[in-house]
């Protein structure tokens, strides 16, 4: 193994990306429009079974546009999963709204229907229902969409499904990202497929995606001169990046299989060790296992995830803690938080660890990771 670093999750090209990027150069479509952008959107629509898609510069841009189009503005409330990366919540602040964070359940690690119901009841009493609910599919596991959608539908509040980490995952046979009024994907460098940096907003409502495209291109009105009647953003994906995306879509199913194989190898290696538990895969779902995540029971194993991370780093093995929940972040210390009886999100953060899930990692390298894990756990 030597000194070569084993990465958590790095870009993995499939081989055809260069051809599509070259096409952008050959046709001189270097701008944020062109054949690659159109084809990439078509691929994602076909893959997810959704009716409309708009390629953007990031997943964060997608959440921002979605909330904007749902009418979120200064002083509004938006409910959001707490156990997530900050990109799920930052766009709420961009629009001057106030995030209210919702705990996870332990079966999915995603938004808890119990905590969500609590939050709705509390804000209904105040006479201030949220403008939107941002539901995250953490690490590739879909949230309990049936229960969550039923609650949001009851209160007639729209859902933005943050599927940044869950492209290729399924919930009851339906593709992740297709449940909310909007779905958002990220193609950041560490995701299951990448465009270097990029994202996509999808919806079954074609009109909303037309509006998304307008928002993403500075909200320019139909006029011969430059005319603007509303705030817009510069959020469109470049035709070069979209060329990478086209090639990556061709290997997406293969990447999901590889990620699941990596996870299964870890799960088998640790199955007889009390105190190390895998992130669950709910029944009737397909978890893309973007990252292989486990919890470490300190009472059984007498070790903290931080100590494991430190130990593995000595051997050039990259690991990470689970996302620090939003309600524990200094930026959001004044925001409301609704938990189940226990604070599950806090518990998962304190006990969770993400292991190398890089699809370029060889089986031998993964076995080295497993052996180092077994050393430190014992």
The whole-number average pLDDT for the span 284-296 is 98
Q: How far apart are CA 85 and CA 65, in angstroms?
A: 18
| Strand stretches in 1-63, DSSP E | 52-56
Packing angle of the helix pair 363-377, 305-313 (nearest 10 deg): 130
CATH of 17-249, one of 2.40.50.140, 3.40.640.10, 3.40.1710.10, 3.30.750.24: 3.40.640.10
Q: How far apart are CA 269 and CA 50, in angstroms?
A: 38
Residue 77, strand partner residues:
98
Burial class (CB in 10 A: 0-12, 13-18, 19+), 188: buried
> What is the structure's pLDDT at 299?
84
Structure confidence at residue 1 as a pLDDT band (50, 70, 90): very low
> What is the structure's pLDDT at 32?
87
> Residues with Cβ < 8 Å from 38, sequence gap 6 or more?
none
Q: What is the pLDDT of residues 299-325, one digit of tens each?
A: 889 999 999 999 999 999 999 999 999
> What is the structure's pLDDT at 181?
98
The region, left, alpha or beta by phi > 0 then psi within -120 to 50, assigned to residue 344 is alpha
Q: What is the pLDDT of residues 12-46, one digit of tens each?
A: 999 999 999 999 999 999 988 999 999 999 999 99
To the nearest whole number, what is the mean pLDDT of the chain?
A: 97
CA 201 to chain centre: 12
Q: Are 53 and 201 in contact (CB under 8 A)?
A: yes
In three-state secondary structure terms, 220 is: strand
**pLDDT at residue 2 greater than cutoff 90:** no
Q: How far apart are CA 325 and CA 345, in angstroms?
A: 6
Q: Cβ–Cβ contacts within 10 Å for residue 174, how many? A: 14
What secondary structure does DSSP assign to 76-107, as a single string? -EEEEESSS-GGGTHHHHHTT-EEEEEPBPTT
> What is the structure's pLDDT at 31?
86
Q: What is the pLDDT of residues 199-237, one digit of tens each?
A: 999 999 999 999 999 999 999 999 999 999 999 999 999
Please give the order of strands across the beta sheet that includes 174-175.
174-175, 170-171, 285-286
**pLDDT at residue 341 greater than cutoff 70:** yes
> What is the structure's pLDDT at 122?
98
The whole-number average pLDDT for the span 168-182 is 98
Q: Let me know the angle formed at the C-alpha of 278 by 341 and 319, rounded to the nearest 5 degrees.
A: 105
Residue 217, strand partner residues:
234
Q: Are 140 and 166 in contact (CB under 8 A)?
A: yes
Q: Are 348 and 83 in contact (CB under 8 A)?
A: yes
The whole-number average pLDDT for the span 36-63 is 98
**Range(s) for CATH 3.40.640.10 in the chain?**
17-249
Structure confidence at residue 185 as a pLDDT band (50, 70, 90): very high
- Among residues 269, 291, 293, the alpha carbon closest in space to that of 377 is found at 269
Percent of the chain predicted with pLDDT > 70: 99
What is the CATH architecture assignment of 252-377? Alpha-Beta Complex (3.90)
**pLDDT at residue 115 greater than cutoff 90:** yes
Q: Cβ–Cβ contacts within 10 Å for residue 187, how many? A: 31
Percent of the chain predicted with pLDDT > 90: 98
**Range(s) for CATH 3.90.1150.10 in the chain?**
252-377
The whole-number average pLDDT for the span 73-95 is 98
Q: How far apart are CA 63 and CA 95, in angstroms?
A: 11
């Amino acid at each position: 193994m030597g000194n070569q670093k084993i990465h958590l999750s790095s870009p993995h090209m499939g081989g055809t990306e260069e051809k599509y990027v070259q096409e952008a150069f050959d046709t001189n479509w270097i701008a944020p429009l062109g054949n690659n952008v159109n084809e990439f959107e078509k691929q994602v629509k076909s893959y997810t079974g959704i009716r409309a898609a708009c390629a953007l510069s990031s997943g964060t841009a997608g959440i921002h546009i979605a909330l904007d189009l749902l009418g979120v503005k200064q002083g509004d409330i938006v409910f959001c999963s707490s156990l997530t990366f900050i990109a799920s919540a930052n766009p709420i602040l961009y629009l001057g709204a106030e995030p209210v964070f919702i705990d996870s359940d332990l079966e999915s690690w995603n938004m808890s229907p119990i905590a969500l119901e609590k939050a709705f009841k509390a804000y209904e009493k105040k006479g201030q229902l949220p403008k939107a609910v941002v539901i995250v599919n953490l690490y590739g596991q879909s949230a309990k969409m049936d229960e969550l959608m039923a609650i949001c539908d009851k209160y007639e509040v729209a859902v933005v499904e943050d599927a940044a980490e869950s492209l290729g995952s399924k919930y009851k046979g339906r593709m992740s990202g297709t449940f909310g009024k909007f779905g958002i994907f990220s193609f950041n460098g560490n995701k299951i497929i990448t465009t270097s940096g990029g994202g996509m907003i999808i919806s079954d409502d074609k009109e909303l995606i037309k509006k998304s495209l307008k928002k993403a291109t500075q909200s320019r009105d139909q006029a011969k001169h430059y005319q603007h009647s509303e705030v817009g953003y510069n959020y469109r994906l470049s035709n070069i990046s979209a060329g990478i995306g086209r090639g990556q879509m061709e290997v997406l199913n293969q990447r999901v299989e590889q990620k699941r194989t990596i996870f299964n190898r870890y799960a088998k290696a640790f199955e007889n060790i009390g105190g190390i538990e895998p992130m669950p895969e709910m029944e009737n779902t397909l978890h893309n296992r973007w990252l292989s995540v486990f919890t470490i029971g300190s009472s059984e194993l007498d070790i903290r995830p931080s100590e494991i991370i430190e130990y593995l780093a000595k051997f050039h093995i990259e690991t990470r803690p689970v996302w620090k929940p939003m309600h524990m972040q200094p930026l959001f210390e004044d925001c409301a938080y609704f938990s189940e009886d226990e604070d599950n999100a806090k518990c998962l953060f304190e006990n969770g660890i993400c292991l190398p899930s890089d699809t370029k990692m060889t089986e031998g390298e993964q076995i080295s990771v497993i052996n180092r894990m077994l050393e430190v756990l014992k």
